[in-house]
Amino acid sequence: MEYIVRGNIPLNGEISVCGAKNCALALLGATILTDETVVLTKCPHIADVDNMLLLLKKMGKKVSRNGQTVQISGKLNTVNVPAEVATLLRGSVLVLGAVLARYGQLTLPLPGGCAIGARPIDIHTDGLKHFGVSVEYDDKGLVCKGKPQPSAFKLRFASVGATENLLCAAVLSQGQSVLYNCATEPEVVALEQMLVQMGAQINGVGGSVLTITGVQRLSGTVFDIIPDRIVAATYLSAAVASHGKVTVSNCCPQHLSAFINAVCGRYDVRLYNDAVTLNADRAVSDYGKVVTAPYPGFPTDMQSLLLSLAALSAGGTTKITENLFENRLQHNADQLALMGADISVNGNTASVRGQCLFGAELCARDLRGGAGLVVAALGAEGTSAVRGVEHINRGYVDLAAELSSLGADIHSVGLDK
């Protein structure tokens, strides 16, 4: 499937943000910690979440969905994560901590996901080893044995997934565990809050040091998935690229502060409790120097949006350094060059001189990069085709329909793979 996008039409109107993919995936993994019913509301209808629900179902959980509400209950009937689903989504790694906490063993085929560079899980496994779990690899993938025992562990990097897994691993282990250098992304904090609601004892919620006192069991709960900050930033970027005026509602502006400072602050922006209104009816010269970093730094997941906006800016130079996923710059830089962009990539830094872009045939190779290409197409003169929409569908409910609702000329052609 591909998107056909005619650019240079200012977007206008209000658009609401869906629940966050990366929050949904972490919370779904954590449902394994209890047999009782966990109800998650605002659960987005996207491919990665559907695959995670399928994975839970294949492992024995009862799963039902009614609109944006999903209900998960029951026990697992296997600790072997099914390869045919695990390899479809990177988020499958997020069952690791919870399965070990409940069942003390697990086989996990190596996860799939985006082509954004090496995605090691050594921090997850080092932490588990610290918790006394035996970790080996065989031809089926990762094989772990043993219930996690209380311990203290410092993550060598504030990894989102490793924090989530180690937290889940610790909540049922009898005694006190301390995790140092935890990720503080809003999706991680939401997981901490849901676990507390389920009866977990966690001190330091929201911070980088978590002290966990294991409890015997966790109970069911009802929890709202937080708004997707990357989707919100995508709509704001679409407004900037097209020189439009857009209100993004049902979002959390606080979670967007790095993006708002680097991008929106250069335009006329209004912040509300749960909305951002951006009037981008003029071009800015550049976006200065931006470096991706763990929260509250500028998110790697918004880097390809910024790359497109920098390429479309009015003649100035923006420098973007990608510090998290090494392959995230080059592919989009090459694609934007097809539109006439002036980008040179040196190591993990792109130097982008803004200018007018023209429609071209583009190819998305990963989810966030794909959204970046759509944004570039919205700001380009003429018509672009963006192939690889299946990557975009992993994280956006229906990007073409959402952008059309703001007046964009975008439609999909061909069949989804």
Which residues lie near ligand EPZ (CB under 6 A)?
21-22, 25, 90-91, 114, 118-124, 157, 159-162, 183, 185, 299-301, 324-325, 367-368, 395
Helix locations, 122-185, DSSP H: 122-130, 160-170
d(CA 30, CA 243) in angstroms, rounded, equals 41
DSSP H or E stretch at residue 63:
strand 62-66
Q: Which is nearer to ligand EPZ, 49 or 284 (CB)?
A: 49
State the nearest-atom distance from the C-beta of 388 to ligand EPZ, in Å. Answer: 14
Query: Going by C-beta distance under 8 Å and a sequence separation of 6 or more, which residues neighbour residue 209?
Result: 178, 179, 180, 181, 182
| Residues belonging to the active site | 114
Query: Going by C-beta distance under 8 Å and a sequence separation of 6 or more, which residues neighbour residue 211?
Result: 176, 177, 178, 202, 203, 204
* Position with the least CB separation from ligand EPZ: 161
Token duo for residue 159: 């990894």
Structural contact between residues 191 and 184, judged by C-beta atoms closer than 8 angstroms:
no
Q: Which is nearer to ligand EPZ, 2 or 185 (CB)?
A: 185
State the nearest-atom distance from the C-beta of 90 to ligand EPZ, in Å. Answer: 6
At residue 164, the 3 state secondary structure works out as helix
Query: Going by C-beta distance under 8 Å and a sequence separation of 6 or more, which residues neighbour residue 364?
Result: 370, 373, 386, 387, 388, 389, 391, 392
DSSP H or E stretch at residue 96:
helix 96-103
State the nearest-atom distance from the C-beta of 327 to ligand EPZ, in Å. Answer: 11
Q: How is residue 397 annotated by DSSP?
A: S
Token pair 């985006």 is at which residue?
Answer: 114
Q: Which is nearer to ligand EPZ, 244 or 388 (CB)?
A: 388
State the nearest-atom distance from the C-beta of 229 to ligand EPZ, in Å. Answer: 10
Q: Which is nearer to ligand EPZ, 52 or 264 (CB)?
A: 52
State the nearest-atom distance from the C-beta of 155 to ligand EPZ, in Å. Answer: 8
Measure the N-to-C terminal CA separation of the chain; round to a whole number of Å.
7
Token duo for residue 38: 């966990």
39 bridge partner residues: 71, 222
Q: Which is nearer to ligand EPZ, 26 or 380 (CB)?
A: 26
State the nearest-atom distance from the C-beta of 360 to ligand EPZ, in Å. Answer: 23
